[in-house]
């Protein structure tokens, strides 16, 4: 029971947004078996929390039990009635026996809410060498592979060192889009590039590798203002041999453009609400793909939008800058189309680029120059590109 009490406490930390799901679980134990079990249970609990809470309410209304920790009941229920758990029948204890007493009803309610409906899950891995397991190359992005999550997790459990090298990076397709789209629009092979908000570094590393592969010479400046995130960025750049990148521990808004006279290309992926990120959407138990900001987030999103506009505006002072790619992992129009349109309205020397025309998902109001990735396809994402007029 102690193990399940610990998992229930970790679930509450996730619901309270103390940190990310992965971070909370990894800090809790060095036991890999516990980490895997906790991750599976908690991610499922977060995704269906409202429905699971109602199931517990219904069971308690039929037969009362003197346990007020609903998270503990939810965690146990998910593990006991997981079709993949072969040891469930042997689980004992007062709470387990209580739940098993109502197994017919619980199974029926779990089925009605599609809690354990089998649905294939995939992850994306950017591979610099052939993967040691079955995968499909992405139809758009070079070196990106789509992998069945079950195949990946089984391999990882037997080969935990898999991601410790510098050959493979787990990266969503959404996250891989900005650097890919930027590189395919670069015409100048001699150019310095600035990544304005670089940590933790996936896009920077991708940019570095693509620049080398496409013989683009010049320096990539990777800017990060937070000291801890900067250390992570530096370590990852070293790990993945990004010797064409210079990491800088600065606030981008304080940088003097004249100190970087050869910067011609910019990647801006600024702080945002993260409303498109799968984990955040799971925590909020949100199935709503609305691009409108909820009332309780209006102030936060307004402040973020103003910050994003400042970042774009600051880029215009780089005299040789020709190309900007702007992206967020937000689904809100205020952080995406509104920011992009505001930039164009106030900077007449810049225009939007008809980006990735073969991609089916476009901007709000059928704006063909902007790209969206709906949350059902990957993490919800927005990308726009601007070029300086000739």
List residues forming the annotated binding site for S-adenosyl-L-methionine.
197-203, 224, 251, 269
* Helix (H/G/I), strand (E/B), else coil: 130: coil
Q: Distance (Å, rounded) from C-alpha 25 to C-alpha 3?
A: 13
For every residue of 348-363, DSSP letters joined together read TTEEE----TT-S-B-
Q: Do residues 361 and 372 lie in contact, with contact meaning Cβ atoms separated by under 8 Å?
A: yes
**Pick from 142, 188, 324, 169: nearest CA to 237:** 169
Q: Distance (Å, rounded) from C-alpha 192 to C-alpha 188?
A: 10
Instruction: State in Å, rounded, how far the first CA of the chain is from the last one.
Output: 68
Q: Do residues 211 and 240 lie in contact, with contact meaning Cβ atoms separated by under 8 Å?
A: no
Tokens representing 30 are 């060095």
Q: Distance (Å, rounded) from C-alpha 286 to C-alpha 22?
A: 19
Q: Do residues 294 and 333 lie in contact, with contact meaning Cβ atoms separated by under 8 Å?
A: no
Q: Distance (Å, rounded) from C-alpha 232 to C-alpha 226?
A: 10
- Annotation says 329 is catalytic: yes
Residue whose pair of structure tokens reads 């400046």 in the numeric block:
221
* Residues making up the binding site: 197-203, 224, 251, 269
- Spell out the residues 6+ positions from residue 224 whose beta carbon is closer than 8 angstroms to its own: 197, 198, 199, 230, 233, 247, 248, 249, 250
Q: Distance (Å, rounded) from C-alpha 259 to C-alpha 366?
A: 39
- Spell out the residues 6+ positions from residue 220 whose beta carbon is closer than 8 angstroms to its own: 192, 193, 194, 195, 204, 207, 208, 211, 242, 244, 245, 246
- 107-135 burial, b at 16+ Cβ within 10 Å, e below that, comes to eebbeeeebbeeeeebbbbbbeeebebeb
Known catalytic residues?
329
């Amino acid at each position: 029971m102690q193990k399940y009490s610990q998992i229930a406490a970790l679930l509450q930390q996730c619901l309270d947004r103390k940190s990310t799901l992965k971070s909370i679980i990894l800090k809790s134990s060095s036991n890999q078996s516990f980490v895997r079990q906790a991750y599976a249970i908690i991610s499922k609990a977060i995704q269906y929390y409202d429905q699971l809470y109602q199931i517990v309410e219904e069971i308690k209304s039929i037969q009362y039990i003197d346990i007020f920790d609903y998270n503990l009941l939810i965690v146990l229920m998910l593990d006991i009635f997981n079709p993949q758990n072969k040891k469930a029948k042997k689980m004992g204890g007062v709470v387990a026996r209580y739940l098993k007493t109502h197994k017919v009803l619980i199974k029926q309610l779990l089925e009605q809410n599609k809690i354990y409906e089998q649905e294939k899950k995939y992850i994306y891995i950017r591979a610099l060498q052939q993967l040691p397991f079955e995968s499909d190359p992405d139809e758009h992005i070079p070196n990106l592979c789509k992998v069945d999550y079950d195949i990946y997790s089984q391999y990882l459990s037997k080969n935990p060192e898999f991601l410790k090298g510098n050959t493979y990076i787990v990266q969503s397709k959404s996250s891989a889009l900005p650097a890919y789209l930027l590189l395919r629009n670069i015409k100048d092979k001699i150019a310095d590039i600035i990544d304005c908000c670089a940590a933790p570094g996936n896009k920077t590393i991708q940019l570095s590798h693509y620049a080398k592969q496409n013989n683009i010479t010049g320096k990539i400046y990777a800017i990060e203002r937070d000291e801890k995130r900067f250390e992570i960025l530096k370590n990852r750049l070293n790990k993945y041999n990004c010797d064409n990148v210079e990491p800088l521990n600065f606030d981008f808004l304080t940088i003097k453009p004249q100190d970087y006279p050869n910067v011609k290309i910019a990647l801006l992926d600024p702080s945002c609400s993260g409303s498109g990120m799968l984990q955040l959407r799971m925590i909020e138990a949100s199935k709503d793909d609305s691009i409108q900001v909820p009332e309780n987030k209006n102030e936060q999103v307004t402040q973020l939008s103003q910050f994003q506009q400042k970042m774009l505006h600051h880029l215009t002072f780089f005299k040789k800058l020709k190309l900007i790619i702007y992206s967020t992992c937000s689904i809100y129009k205020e952080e995406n189309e509104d920011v992009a349109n505001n930039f164009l309205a106030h900077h007449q020397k810049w225009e939007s680029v008809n980006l990735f025309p073969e991609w089916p998902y476009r901007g709000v109001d059928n704006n063909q120059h902007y790209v969206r990735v709906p949350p059902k396809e990957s993490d919800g994402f927005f990308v726009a590109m601007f070029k300086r007029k000739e």
